[in-house]
Amino acid sequence: MEQVNNSLASFIENLKRRNPGEPEFHQAVTEVAEKIWPFIEAHPKYQENRIFERLTEPDRVVLFRVTWTDDSGQVHVNKGYRIQFNGVIGPYKGGLRFHPSVNLGVLKFLAFEQILKNSLTTLPMGGGKGGSDFDPKGKSDSEVMRFCQSFMTELHRHIGPDVDVPAGDIGVGGREVGYLFGQYRRLANEFTGTMTGKGLEYGGSLIRPEATGYGTVYFAQNMLATRNQDLKGKVCTVSGSGNVAQYTAEKLIELGASVVSLSDSSGSVHMPDGLTTEQLEYVMDLKNVRRGRIREFADAFGLEFRAGKRPWDIKCDCAFPSATQNELEEEDARALLANGCFVVAEGANMPTTLAGTKLFEEAKILFGPGKAANAGGVAISGIEMTQNSMRLQWTREEVDNKLKEIMKNIHGKCVKYGQKDDYIDYVKGANVAGFVKVADAMLAFGVV
Ligand code: NDP
Ligand code: 2IT
């Protein structure tokens, strides 16, 4: 009979052996495993039923070909994916990412994180993620439309309002969701809330575009409140300049903080006097309508553009990594700490490397991991699903209040499971709290 070796080291070794060539997936699981192992050991029912092993193997992975034609008539082939990772607490839920770096390991890390994040929101949503290595940069609207239609022509067989509900992520915003949902509705011949992040005219929710960024800022407010502080007057670095970065910046400005950086994959812009509302409007138009580069923003306002550089060497109190995974490495964490940064709220998914996370923990700063801090986006997706099922639309204020309440709740759960003698281990708190609900549902279902 196979001997079960229950040590953390052998678990990680097995995971790497069974999932070769997926470093981001290994990283995401390692972070969770390190935090929940003592909890699992203290509750043998999880270990005896090999719950964590089951939780790290997706229910299913759908991999398909996406063929489309560009404006000059040339045919292209991309990969399409949907990872339906765990559905024990609700329909699979999670975004679609279109970016050339997308591969199986990246989407498995994102879908795995999504299981615990969705559990934390308290709403009934399982974990999923999907996307393609298609690069929307430089493509015309009609090329993006043809790609989205081809992608959905296959994906529609695998999703549905009670099965799997995709949304946006990097490279998938309002325009793409419109094309994707339009094709879904046409093929399914029914109007159901099978995508979230939809336009307001066709079933979208107020505040969904803002929700991830606003929610991350609300989470930071909750963390600061544990030290009797708030965001007023705080100097904040933000990375990225897409959906999450834009609404993080908007809420920070509204709360009286000073946003001193934005970035994209070409480099960062330093705004020593703080981003103004007028400048943010310019960035939104540049990125969402004209689809330009952040350098153009620096040039338009005579600001310093730091080619190829991240914002983390800029002095700040609070940092909001809002671009992509592993954008905040050990050296960046060291620079932030040396400059006195004491709040890091992750708007992106897994932006901090394991070594960076360790430094933040040792320094006992307020470090809010993505699966807690950025859960506002998927939470309001859940609220969009509820509105679609009820066939009504809540007001902006109602939805924003729900978002605030959910972020406060998530913060409370992190404190409950992560409180240590002299600081709150939010990484442990988020992982254990997210795990318990899913694990107990898995136990209830028996060996499946
Ligand atoms: P967008 O596509 O709107 O914006 C992405 C931003 O990140 C752009 O500024 C982009 O720059 C930058 N970026 C992307 N890849 C890289 C890279 N390899 N290096 C440096 N910069 C990069 O995506 P979102 O704002 O929606 O997503 C940002 C992050 O937030 C992701 O980690 C996503 O998973 C996470 N997230 C998103 C949610 C949502 O609701 N949208 C919810 C929760 C988390 P460039 O234009 O040069 O590519
Ligand atoms: O990472 C995420 O939580 C998202 N991209 C949002 C997912 C969703 O279904 O709204």
Are residues 216 and 104 part of one domain?
no
216 and 164 part of one domain: no
Confidence check: pLDDT of 2 > 90:
no
Tell me: the pLDDT tens digits for 171-215?
999 999 999 999 999 999 999 999 999 999 999 999 999 999 999
Q: Residue whose CA is closest, atom 11 of ligand 1? A: 264
Instruction: Identify the CATH number of the domain in which residue 160 sits.
Output: 3.40.50.10860
Cβ(377) – ligand 2 distance below 6 Å = yes
- Res 6: pLDDT: 76
Q: Which of 121, 169, 241 to mutate to test the pocket of ligand 1 (most atoms within 8 A of CB)?
A: 169
Q: Which ligand is nearest to the CA of 118?
A: 2
Backbone φ and ψ for 130, nearest 5 degrees, come out as -155, -170
Whether residues 249 and 145 fall in one domain: no
In a domain, 135, yes or no: yes
Give yes or no: residues 354 and 227 share one domain.
yes
Q: Longest Cα pair distance anywhere in the chain, in angstroms?
A: 70
Query: Dihedral, CA atoms, 349, 355, 358, 362, nearest 10 degrees?
Result: -130
Residue 117 and residue 251 share a domain: no
Q: Which atom of ligand 2 is nearest to the CA of 380?
A: 10
**What integer is the mean pLDDT of 291-317?**
98
CA-nearest residue, atom 3 of ligand 2: 378
Distance 111 CA to ligand 2 centre (A): 10
Report the relative pairing of strands 92-98 and 126-132 from DSSP bridges: parallel
**Is pTM, for the whole model, over 0.75?**
yes
Minimal-distance CA residue to ligand 1 atom 40: 377
Are residues 233 and 310 both part of a single domain? yes
- Is 240 touching ligand 1 by the criterion CB < 6 Å? yes
**Is the pLDDT at 163 greater than 90, yes or no?**
yes
Angle at 18 between CA 17 and CA 20, to 5 degrees: 65
Band (pLDDT 50/70/90 cuts) for residue 1 is very low
Q: Rounded to the nearest whole angstrom, what is the distance from the C-alpha of residue 240 to the centroid of ligand 1? A: 6
* pLDDT tens profile 230-255: 999 999 999 999 999 999 999 999 99
Q: What is the Å distance from ligand 1's center to 245 Cα?
A: 8
Q: Is residue 165 one of the residues assigned to a domain?
A: yes
Q: Are residues 132 and 234 in the same domain?
A: no
401 found inside a domain: no
Statement to judge: residues 221 and 356 lie in one domain: yes
Inter-residue contact 214 to 207 (CB < 8 Å): yes
Domain that includes residue 167, residue range: 60-189
* Ligand nearest to the CA of residue 171, numbered in listed order: 1
Do 217 and 174 have their domain in common?
no
Domains: count for the chain: 2
Interaxial angle between packed helices 396-418 and 376-390, expressed in degrees from 0 to 180 and rounded to the nearest 10: 130
Distance between Cα 83 and ligand 1 center (Å): 19
- Tell me: the pLDDT tens digits for 347-387? 999 999 999 999 999 999 999 999 999 999 999 999 999 99
**409 in a structural domain:** no
Domain boundary among 322, 353, 373: 373
